[in-house]
Amino acid sequence: MATFTKHSEDDEGLPHATKKTMADHLRKFEALFNMTPQRMRMIVEAFKESLEQGLAKNGQIVPMIPTYVFGWPSGKETGMYLAVDLGGTNLRVCLVKLEGGGKFEITQAKYRLSEEQKQEDGQRLFDFCAECLKAFIDSHQESGLIPKDEVLPLGFTFSYPCSQERIDHGVLIRWTKGFGAPNTEGHDVVEMFRKALAKNSVPASVVALTCDTTGTLIASHYVNPKTRIACIFGTGCNAAYMERVRDIPKIAELGIDPDTEMAINCEWGAFDSFEHENLPRTKYDQIIDETSNKPGEQAFEKLISGRYLGEILRLIICELIDEGVLFLGQNTYKIEIPYSLDTAFLSLMESDPTDELLMIIGIFSHFFALETTLAERQFFRALAKLVARRAARLSACGIAAIVSKMGYLEEGCAVGADGSLYNKYPKFADRIHEGLQDIFGEKGKNIVTYHAEDGSGIGSAIVAAMTKERKDANIYPNY
């Protein structure tokens, strides 16, 4: 039963839930979002199995995509490259000058993608990429940065699961992160992008298609050779690592030397999709899944990535509104709008340094026209922590699965990580590290995540450089 009391801050006499009511509810959510070390270890085991299945056969839940990025960069890669990065939120075009020895220069422009663009015809989306690239090249030819009459090699970072038969090919398996552009799934996105480049007479030639995680793996290793794994924790989430070809049974028939190494784009956001056997899904997670444009898919990502964390908290708040616990007598229509509570708000809630939690007052009054009491604000902050901590601990499970599969624990390794959640959410990295220790004990300290190099820009350019060098040297030229 919810009880209400008048609070001293509450000028208009609106009924607010008591501190005790909030504490009771909090206990319930603590139980729901908590993950014990034992539970985490069970998830790691199931995760490992899924990774193995993905390497063994095509069409598995976790796709484990061979990327045709052969081994680590030498650090001596040089030259001028273009990079186009179609991520979850923005389109970015870059000019990268690789100078060798881990050094580079980058010039870039960013364009925000509208919600409509994410849903319009796929070819139109690639045309937009080509048009932005054309404008970028034109302006830098004017400034003298890009030589005229030269066709520059281009790395295309397309951060959605694509199955590849060679490095400049990728058939989109499924859109993620809320994208839904028709006529793209099942098509080769490199071909679509090349068509758009030709239509707009853009002087650029696509050399390699990469995912942000593969780019991050390569760029991070370029500057920190201890890097073995790369992760993205942003609008979406994913990981990449370097695998021995002999351990990728599904490409055995290609005749690639089994001792060669190849980067694997795990697409781990798909872990536990459809079957939902291993992950701790609450009813809020189920609502997010069922109301998404891709029900059943990206089960792991939906518990972790920045696109969804704010929504999880919003759904909890809405339930408590419906139950008459929160905001009685106030107009709550604004917070009832799906996805109106951005994950960036959670991050502000957790980082609010004031005793009165003034930032949280601001968020609720400014964006949702709602008054809050201190007890409620403390409750929201505690909830934000529960949701974000679960995300970080699940992320630790994914990292632990790769570490344990590859036997990196004893020797230790560095994990390059990037994305808004990792970079901006307070304590996200600390919570991953804490999770790794809960899974592995003391030895978990051997696995250290760090803020990675820009994978989709620099990484993509390095991959393009590596590919050019490889093909010029006639090494697996058809891949």
159 catalytic residue (yes or no): yes
Alpha carbon of 124 to those of 109, 153, 196, 375: distances in Å?
Answer: 20, 23, 9, 49
- Cα 449 to Cα 433: distance, rounded to the nearest angstrom: 8
Residue 211 touching ligand BGC (CB under 6 A): yes
For residue 364, which amino acid is it?
F
Q: Which of 21, 50, 157, 159 binds ligand BGC (CB under 6 A)?
A: 159
Which run of H or of E encompasses 420? helix 420-424
Through-space distance between the first and last CA atoms of the chain, rounded to whole angstroms: 64
Q: Which of 161, 215, 306, 457 binds ligand BGC (CB under 6 A)?
A: 161
CB atoms within 10 A of CB 135: 15
Q: Which of 77, 85, 127, 212 binds ligand BGC (CB under 6 A)?
A: 212
Residue 457 touching ligand BGC (CB under 6 A): no
Q: Which of 122, 269, 444, 455 binds ligand BGC (CB under 6 A)?
A: 269
DSSP secondary structure, 141-203, as one string: HHTTSS-TT--EEEEEEE-S-EE-SSTT--EE----TT---SS-TTSBHHHHHHHHHHHTT-S
| Candidates 211-219, 341-349, 352-360, 429-437; binding stretch for ligand BGC (CB under 6 A) | 211-219
Using CB under 6 A as the criterion, what x/- string covers residues 329-348 for binding ligand BGC? --------------------
127, 168, 188, 212: the catalytic one is 212
174, 194, 377, 390: the catalytic one is 174
Closest approach of ligand BGC to the CB of residue 158, in Å: 8
Contacting residues for 77 by C-beta, under 8 A, at least 6 apart:
98, 100, 222, 462, 465, 466, 469
Residue 178 touching ligand BGC (CB under 6 A): no
Q: Which of 47, 128, 160, 425 binds ligand BGC (CB under 6 A)?
A: 160
Residue 236 touching ligand BGC (CB under 6 A): yes
- Cα 103 to Cα 111: distance, rounded to the nearest angstrom: 26
163 catalytic residue (yes or no): no
27 catalytic residue (yes or no): no
Residue closer to ligand BGC by CB (options 21, 347) is 347
- Cα 95 to Cα 90: distance, rounded to the nearest angstrom: 16
Residue 88 touching ligand BGC (CB under 6 A): yes
| Candidates 134-142, 156-164, 353-361, 400-408; binding stretch for ligand BGC (CB under 6 A) | 156-164
Residue 176 touching ligand BGC (CB under 6 A): yes
| Candidates 55-63, 115-123, 209-217, 328-336; binding stretch for ligand BGC (CB under 6 A) | 209-217
The runs of H, that is alpha helices, within 57-101 are none
Burial 351-390, CB ≥16 within 10 A → b, else e: ebeeeebebbbebbeeebebbbbbbbbbbbbbbbbbbbbb
Residue 63 touching ligand BGC (CB under 6 A): no
| Candidates 229-237, 361-369, 396-404, 439-447; binding stretch for ligand BGC (CB under 6 A) | 229-237
- Cα 116 to Cα 180: distance, rounded to the nearest angstrom: 10
Binding site for ligand BGC (CB under 6 A): 87-88, 159-161, 176-177, 211-213, 232, 234, 236-238, 267, 269, 301
Active site residues: 159, 174, 212
